[in-house]
Amino acid sequence: MNALMKSKVLLTGATGFLGSHLLVGLLTRGHSVVVLKRSSSSTARIADHLSRIRTHDVDRVPLEAAFEHSPIDAVIHAATAYGRNGESAAQVDATNIAFGTELLETAAAAGVTTFVNTGTFSAKGVDLPEGLSQYVRTKREFSEIGARIAARSRITFLEMQLEHVYGPADGQTKFVTTLLNAFIEGRAAFDLTRGAQLRDFVYVEDVVAAYLRVLERRADIAGPTQLFEVGSGDAVALADFVRLAREVAGSATKLNFDALPDRSGDMPQSVADISALRKLGWEPHVSLRDGLERTLRAMRDSLPAAAIRRTS
What pLDDT, in 10s, does the model give residues 277-310? Answer: 999 999 999 999 999 999 999 999 987 643 443 4
Reply yes or no on whether the pLDDT at 215 is more than 80.
Answer: yes
Confidence of residue 6 (pLDDT cuts 50, 70, 90): confident
What pLDDT, in 10s, does the model give residues 156-191? Answer: 999 999 999 999 999 998 999 999 999 999 999 999
Cα distance between residue 253 and residue 68, in whole Å: 54
Confidence of residue 1 (pLDDT cuts 50, 70, 90): very low
Measured over all CA atoms, what is the biggest interatomic distance in the chain, rounded to whole angstroms?
A: 60
Give the per-residue pLDDT at 123: 74
CB atoms inside a 10 Å sphere around CB 238 = 20
Give the per-residue pLDDT at 308: 43
C-beta of residue 112 within 8 angstroms of C-beta of residue 67: yes
Q: Which of 150-159, 264-273, 301-310 has the lowest mean pLDDT?
A: 301-310
H helices present in 123-259, as ranges: 133-151, 175-185, 204-216, 238-249
Confidence of residue 226 (pLDDT cuts 50, 70, 90): very high
DSSP tag of 128: P
Structural domain boundaries in the chain: 8-170+201-233+271-285
Reply yes or no on whether the pLDDT at 130 is more than 70.
Answer: no
Give the per-residue pLDDT at 129: 57
Identify the bridge partners of residue 37 per DSSP, sorted by sequence position: 57
The angle formed by the CA atoms of residues 113, 116 and 122, to the nearest 5 degrees, is: 150
Cα R_g (the chain), whole angstroms: 20
Mean pLDDT computed over every residue of the chain? 92
Give the per-residue pLDDT at 303: 78
Q: Select 8-170+201-233+271-285's CATH number: 1.25.40.20, 3.40.50.300, 3.40.50.720, 3.40.228.10.
A: 3.40.50.720
Own/partner contacts of 218-221, CB < 8 Å, gap of 24 or more, are 218/74, 218/113, 218/114, 218/156, 218/158, 219/4, 220/280, 221/156, 221/158, 221/280
To the question of pTM greater than 0.85 for the whole model, the response is yes
Give the per-residue pLDDT at 267: 85
Give the per-residue pLDDT at 216: 95
Give the per-residue pLDDT at 22: 98
Give the per-residue pLDDT at 256: 98
What pLDDT, in 10s, does the model give residues 32-83? Answer: 999 999 999 999 999 999 999 999 999 999 999 999 877 999 999 999 998 8
Cα distance between residue 140 and residue 159, in whole Å: 11
Reply yes or no on whether the pLDDT at 270 is more than 90.
Answer: yes
Average pLDDT in the 201-210 region?
98
Average pLDDT in the 26-31 region?
96
CB atoms inside a 10 Å sphere around CB 256 = 11
Reply yes or no on whether the pLDDT at 196 is more than 60.
Answer: yes
Confidence of residue 135 (pLDDT cuts 50, 70, 90): confident
On the 0-12 / 13-18 / 19+ scale of CB atoms within 10 A, 311 is middle
> What's the one-letter identity of residue 311?
T
